[in-house]
Amino acid sequence: MTSLASLRPRLPSPLQEIEDDRFTRYGIRLVLKRDDLIHPELVGNKWRKLAPNLTAAAGRTVLTFGGAYSNHLRATAAAGRLLGLTTVGVVRGQELAGRPLNASLARCAADGMRLHFVDRSTYRRKTEPKTLAAVLRAAGVEDAYIVPEGGSNALAVRECRELGEELRGHADVVGVPCGTGGTLAGLAAGLGPGHRVLGVPVLKGGFLNGDIQALQHQAFGGPRGTWSLDERFHFGGYARTTPELDAFAEDFESRHDLPVERLYVAKSLYGLAALAKEGHFAPGTTVAAVITGRPWGQAARR
Ligand SMILES: *Cc1c(COP(=O)(O)O)cnc(C)c1O
């Protein structure tokens, strides 16, 4: 297996101040934490979460889980190709088997990932030992290092502390989009006193507070840092959008020459702008927005 260091991640990721009147008008400084520039293929927080797991896998087959358009599956598949690791992706949706692969899954397959499709009820129970054993057998995998959906386990959460450490002294409030919440759980732990994290869940449901507490418990043995979630900016749920969100993202892209990833990043930037307008941040506050990834299929711009 090739070493991770040979992939030359850009760490710490760049910090970039931008002028945006939706913030400056209220006396707020906005800085972008460009995790989207860490690596061209293992983008953003996926690098941070996968790196310690790939090291722990130590050359074993890596098996993980995701939906048909999962950023995490693509990052894992790319890592497999770059590092010479065998990867298996367990994909939600039995009905996808035997059909032409969508572009995201085709990319995974081209990177050498073996895809195994399971029905939705099996997928929901995938962490139960009995179900997992059956999935491994059906996928023809004897020994594998298992990475959970979204890559958020204790190793990943501990690694995401580094994101917080890189931001110490550079921001009062850090905004981050949340899927599983693993990135936020680590970020909050690394940030240090006097700073706080504001998470924007992109899934509907309101279950994330408990999930993040559980992740911090697994990773650190208890709660860490100051964080809160604002549940108002999911725009209907995962991968859902509205004309208003699209217009906001397009406008942000053209103003700042930043490719705005739509599933996560657009929602958190929109949420931060809305909070600024509501007077949530005192004048003089520096807000850092973590750019956790970039639109898929679009080259990185700097
Ligand atoms: C996966 C992903 C997230 C979600 O990270 P979690 O640690 O699961 O909360 C956020 N942004 C982007 C761009 C992602 O690909």
In this prediction, residue 3 has a pLDDT band, given cuts at 50, 70 and 90, of: confident
- This prediction's pTM: 0.95
Q: Which amino acid is at 125?
A: R
Work out which ligand 1 atom sits closest to the CA atom of 182.
7
- Whether the per-residue pLDDT at 300 is higher than 80: the answer is no
Question: What is the number of the ligand 1 atom nearest to the C-alpha of 180?
Answer: 8
Question: How confident is the model over 18-59, as pLDDT tens digits?
Answer: 999 999 999 999 999 999 999 999 999 999 999 999 999 999
pLDDT at 118 over 80: yes
Q: What is the pLDDT at residue 192? A: 87
Report the run of H or E that residue 191 belongs to, with start and end. helix 182-191
Taking the centre of ligand 1 as the mean of its atom positions, its distance from the CA of residue 132, in whole angstroms, is: 24
Nearest CA to ligand 1 atom 3: 179
From 134-143, 156-165, 205-214, the region with the lowest mean pLDDT: 134-143
Q: Ligand 1: which atom is nearest the Cα of residue 177?
A: 10
> Among 3.10.310.30, 3.40.50.1100, 3.40.630.30, 3.40.640.10, what is the CATH number of 5-41+152-290?
3.40.50.1100
Report the topology of domain 61-142: Rossmann fold (3.40.50)
**Mean pLDDT, range 125-137, rounded to an integer:** 92
75 CA: nearest ligand 1 atom: 15
Which class for 257: exposed (0-12), middle (13-18), buried (19 or more C-beta within 10 A)?
exposed
Torsion of CA 13, 18, 23, 25, to 10 degrees: 160
Distance CA 259, CA 295 (A): 6
Measure 262 CA to ligand 1 centroid, in angstroms: 11
Backbone φ, ψ for residue 146 (5° rounding): -95, 125
Share of the chain above pLDDT 70, in %: 98
Ligand 1: list residues with CB < 6 Å: 44-46, 71-72, 150, 152, 177-183, 261, 264-265, 292-293
pLDDT, tens only, 216-263 = 999 999 999 999 999 999 999 999 999 999 999 999 999 999 999 999
Taking the centre of ligand 1 as the mean of its atom positions, its distance from the CA of residue 287, in whole angstroms, is 19
- Mutate-to-test residue for ligand 1 from 73, 74, 292, highest number of ligand atoms within 8 A of CB: 292
Domain ranges of the chain: 5-41+152-290, 61-142
CA pair distance 162, 34, nearest whole angstrom: 14
Q: Give the largest CA-CA distance in the chain.
A: 59
- Per the CB < 8 A criterion, the answer to whether 41 and 176 are in contact is no
Is residue 149's pLDDT more than 70? yes
